[in-house]
Structures are given as structure tokens and as C-alpha cells.
């Protein structure tokens, strides 16, 4: 795919999300979601492999289903009230359709079944867009509709997502599936928090986007598609593996890394509103996720398979005197912020 076409498609995706975030009309919101989805489909199947095409078709069918539910719910609302505004009170049928549609788009359980397979079949850069940017618009809708939407239904879905996200990632060896189940769990944390504090949910979304972007980019740079590749890359680029390990632990919420602020923010607002039982269940579910994050870090740091002496010193001999590329500087900045950005994220409480 040429650079001009890719630039146009990326701009269209940004435009679709901007339309959804700034609009208060259901029909315009539906148009923004469809623009973003249709512009993303050609990018997803750019490598044109059978697995890639399969993942693209699955993604398109799920997005078409969720868009149909959203449009039908909005049409029922317009038929009964004569208004397309998202600010007007809605009936139960409309809210049920919209709730299910947003759960599909975000990847909340039990509407999560498509997400791991789709992410596994996509390259890292395309998977990054699906796992991060494409979730901004539906999450903003959930934040906006937190007073009208079925809160009990989405809170239960979020709690199940935390458990399934941790349980599903236990026996996975493919890094993209591990990131998919991790995203499902994190979406559960963000959605539950949004009903008790929109400001806290926004902080969590920013931290999630920051850490996930850094992990996807560094895994793409090192071409780490499975956990077995971590042992080989550890011999060739020790610093990169240290960054990868710290980013994975940060995503798991291990203090004092940046990802700890994601769960700390949620627990702070939930406990402040006296939701002790719900917080306890969320903590218990997150322990499953933290277990396989720690297992990955343990394997990387302690299990070193025998290698030829030349491969052990390849990273030393490949040191060049050329200036670092802009991509390397950007990835380094994201990695550092994803690991030790607590002093940066703390002011978000004051700003937001």
C-alpha cells in the first residue's frame, strides 16, 4: 500500500473518532464510527495473508453487528421521542441495544470472543490501532452515557471481563493473545470506574494508551510474536528485553511502575464511594493477570537456553556510530513514560 493511501486512511480514522467525540447526535455518531471502521479495514488486510484476511473479516463482521445494533437503538429512540440527541432520556430497548453494541466495540465479556483471534491474526502495528485508538470512541460514549446506560449490566460485564482477561491469558504463549486478554481486563477496570468517576476513567484510559502503545511498538521492533522469542532476543538485545519486561510488569499494575496508577486510580474512586466488595472482587480478578505477567518476566530473566558464543556477543559487535532514528527516540520516550511516569501521571488528578 502506497504512503499516500495509508496517510489518507489514517487521517480518515482520526476524523471518524473526532466526529464521535464531538457529536451529540446519534446518527452523526453512527456515521463517525462507520467512517473509522471502513477506513481501518484496508489497513488491516494490507499484508494479504490468509490469517490476516480472516482476522479482518471477523473484525468487519463484529463491527457491522455492533453498528447495526447502535443504529437500530437510535432509530427506536427517534421514532418514540422524535429526537436524535444523546442527552435526551432513552427507553429500555434503546439502552439495551446501545449497551450491547458498545460492549462489542470495547471487547467486554461476554462480547469479547472476537478480540483475541482478531488481534492474533494482525501485525503489531494494525493490532495497536485496534487495541488502542479504536476503543477511544466507544469509551467516550460510555463516559457520556454513564447516567442513562444500563450501569448494572456493564458493571457486571466489566467484572467478568477482569476475571476472563486474567484467566484466558494464563496458558497463552503468543504475545498478541496475551495483550488481547490483558486489554479485555483493563477495559473492565476502565468501564467500571467510569460509572463512579469519569475523571478517574479518563486518567486510566490515558495510562492504558501510553503503556499499550509502548509495548506494541517494542514487540514489533524486536519481532517478538511468542514467548519463546524472548529468550533469543534476550541474548541479542539485553536492554530491549529489560524494557519489555518492565513494560509488561507495568501493564500488570506492579508498584511502583506507571501501570500501578491505573488500578490505584480505580480503587481510589471505588473505595471513596464505599464500594468495598466490588473493589475486593476486582483485586482478586487482577491477581490472575499479574500471575502470568510475573511468569513472563521470570522466564525472560532466568531461563536462558544454551546459545553459540557468536550469538551471545552479536549485540556488542553490531553497535553502529550512526545517529538514532526518530522512531527509536519516540519508542524510548514511550517506554520510559510507561515505566516510570508516576510523577507525570500524578498531576492528572489536579488537571482533570
Per-residue cell: 154: 456493564
Whole domain around residue 121: which residue ranges?
Answer: 3-316+323-351
Domains identified in the chain, total number: 1
Q: Residue 111 — φ and ψ, nearest 5°?
A: -100, 25
Reported as type and span, the H/E element at residue 287 is helix 276-302
pLDDT for 127 equals: 93
When pLDDT is averaged across residues 12-26 and rounded to a whole number, the result is 92
pLDDT digits (tens, 9 = 90+) for 85-116: 888 777 888 888 999 999 999 999 889 999 99
Cα distances from 327 to residues 60, 124, 215, 265, 338, in angstroms, run: 30, 15, 14, 31, 16
Nearest Cα neighbor of 202 from 215, 193, 210, 213 is 193
pLDDT class of 223 with cuts at 50, 70, 90: confident
pLDDT digits (tens, 9 = 90+) for 280-337: 989 888 888 888 888 777 766 654 444 444 444 444 444 444 455 666 667 777 777 7
Amino acid at each position: 500500500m502506497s504512503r499516500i493511501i495509508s496517510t489518507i486512511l489514517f487521517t480518515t480514522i482520526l476524523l471518524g473518532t473526532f466526529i464521535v467525540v464531538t457529536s451529540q447526535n446519534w446518527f452523526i455518531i453512527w456515521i463517525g464510527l462507520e467512517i473509522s471502521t471502513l477506513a481501518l479495514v484496508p489497513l488491516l488486510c494490507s499484508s494479504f495473508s490468509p490469517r490476516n484476511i480472516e482476522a479482518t473479516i471477523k473484525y468487519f463482521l463484529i463491527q457491522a453487528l455492533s453498528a447495526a445494533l447502535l443504529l437500530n437503538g437510535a432509530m427506536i429512540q427517534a421514532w418514540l421521542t422524535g429526537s436524535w440527541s444523546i442527552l435526551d432520556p432513552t427507553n429500555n430497548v434503546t439502552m439495551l441495544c446501545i449497551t450491547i453494541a458498545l460492549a462489542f466495540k470495547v471487547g467486554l465479556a461476554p462480547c469479547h470472543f472476537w478480540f483475541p483471534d482478531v488481534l492474533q491474526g494482525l501485525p503489531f502495528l494494525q493490532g495497536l490501532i485496534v487495541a488502542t485508538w479504536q476503543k477511544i470512541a466507544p469509551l467516550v460514549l460510555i463516559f457520556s452515557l454513564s447516567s442513562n446506560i444500563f450501569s448494572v449490566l456493564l458493571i457486571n460485564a466489566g467484572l467478568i471481563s477482569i476475571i476472563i482477561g486474567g484467566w484466558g491469558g494464563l496458558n497463552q504463549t503468543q504475545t498478541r493473545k496475551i495483550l488481547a486478554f490483558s486489554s479485555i481486563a483493563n477495559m473492565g477496570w476502565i468501564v467500571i470506574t467510569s460509572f463512579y468517576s469519569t475523571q478517574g476513567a479518563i486518567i486510566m484510559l490515558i495510562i492504558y494508551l501510553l503503556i499499550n502503545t509502548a509495548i506494541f511498538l517494542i514487540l514489533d521492533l524486536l519481532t517478538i510474536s511468542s514467548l519463546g522469542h524472548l529468550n533469543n532476543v534476550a541474548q541479542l538485545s539485553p536492554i530491549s528485553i529489560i524494557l519489555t519486561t518492565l513494560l509488561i510488569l507495568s501493564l500488570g499494575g506492579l508498584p511502583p511502575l506507571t501501570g500501578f496508577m491505573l488500578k490505584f486510580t480505580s480503587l481510589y474512586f471505588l473505595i471513596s464511594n464505599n464500594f468495598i466488595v466490588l473493589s475486593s472482587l476486582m483485586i482478586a480478578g487482577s491477581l490472575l493477570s499479574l500471575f502470568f505477567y510475573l511468569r513472563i518476566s521470570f522466564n525472560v530473566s532466568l531461563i536462558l537456553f544454551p546459545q553459540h558464543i557468536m550469538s551471545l556477543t552479536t549485540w556488542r559487535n553490531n553497535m553502529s556510530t550512526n545517529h538514532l532514528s526518530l522512531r527509536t527516540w519516540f519508542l524510548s520516550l514511550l517506554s520510559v513514560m510507561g515505566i516510570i511516569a508516576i510523577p507525570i501521571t500524578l498531576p492528572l488528578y489536579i488537571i482533570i
